[in-house]
Amino acid sequence: MKVLIWNEHRHEQLNEEVAKIYPKGIHGAIKSFLETDDIEVETATLDEPNHGITDERLAETDVVVWWGHLAHGEVADEIVEKVYQRVLEGMGLIVLHSGHFSKVFKKLMGTGCDLKWREADDTERLWVIDPTHPIAEGIGEYIEIEKEEMYGEHFDIPVPDELIFVSWFTGGEVFRSGCTYRRGHGKVFYFRPGHESYPTYHQKDVQRVIQNAVRWAKPTAREFSSYGNAQPIEK
């Protein structure tokens, strides 16, 4: 199984504090806990040619993990279109935190994807709403993150196909923080935590969710559907 982690990789270069938390970049941190015997992980970043995303690379990728924030507008529309099409063909997509505003997520959702936010060291508790879901495997009743950016409802997304986590924040907000969607032949998972100024991706249960999600999102082995003019059943 092949996973491609895409990271904007700007905060880590612009901000010393972020660089201290993620010295190998957010992509490097995620790579370190996703690699196992049966998962091959590569990374790509915004400033590489084609943002590190080529047709060949996408064609053999099972799941993309996406982190972006400052520079969604700099991601080329044609690259967005390639990733979007690959999701419809069956590739999984895990969208993290501020990736809610990425072009590819908005295009897949068909909504504005806006929300409330606050940077004020709120504590976040992600409660497991769906205890049956494989993405919640190994997770307790909730994940507690001592300090995080707040994201609050209304979150302008379509009704999730599955709602796995709902977050509580100190300041009085709730948020649908773990949501799945099917788009074409592909599976999409949005997972809220991961503001660049906090060590969220170093936390074990957050890592476990992303590990679970990557396995859940792998393509279902089936031929692609046929569309267009069709003959009737023969009798």
| DSSP β-bridge partners for residue 165 | 128, 178
* Residue from 109, 145, 213, 214 binding its own copies (CB under 8 A): 109
Q: Which one of 58-66, 149-157, 191-199, 200-208 is the stretch in contact with its own copies (CB under 8 A)?
A: 149-157
Please identify, using beta-carbon distances, which residue of 181 and 198 lies nearer to its own copies: 181
Q: Please identify which residue in 2, 57, 147, 185 interacts with its own copies, judged by CB under 8 A.
A: 185
Query: Which residue, among 134, 140, 153, has the nearest Cα to 192 in the 3D structure?
Result: 153
d(CA 184, CA 84): 10
Integer Cα distance of 190 and 195 in angstroms: 14
Task: Tell which one of 42, 57, 129, 147 touches its own copies (CB under 8 A).
Answer: 129
CB of 91 to its own copies, least distance (A): 11
- CA atoms of 22 and 197, how far apart (whole Å): 9
Task: Please report whether residue 70 would count as binding its own copies according to CB under 8 A.
Answer: no
Q: How far is the CB of 155 from its own copies (least distance, A)?
A: 8
Q: By the 8 A CB rule, do 5 and 35 touch?
A: no
Based on the shown chain and the rule CB under 8 A, indicate whether residue 141 belongs to the binding site for its own copies: yes
Residue 221, exposed/middle/buried by CB under 10 A (0-12, 13-18, 19+)?
exposed
**146 sits near its own copies (criterion: CB under 8 A):** no
Interaction between residue 152 and its own copies (CB under 8 A): yes
Residue 198 interacts with its own copies (CB under 8 A)? no
Distance (Å, whole) CA 167 – CA 125: 5
Binder among 1, 33, 40, 107 for its own copies (CB under 8 A): 107
Q: How far is the CB of 16 from its own copies (least distance, A)?
A: 24
Interface with its own copies, residue 78, by CB under 8 A: no
d(CA 82, CA 87): 9
From the CB of 93, what's the least distance to its own copies, in Å? 12
Q: Is 120 in the site for its own copies (CB under 8 A)?
A: yes
226 binds its own copies (CB under 8 A): yes
184 contacts its own copies (rule: CB under 8 A): yes
Helix axes of 204-216 and 25-34: crossing angle, nearest 10 degrees: 70
Cβ burial of 184 (10 Å; 0-12, 13-18, 19+) is middle
Residue from 97, 133, 192, 195 in contact with its own copies (CB under 8 A): 133
Furthest CA-CA distance within the chain: 71
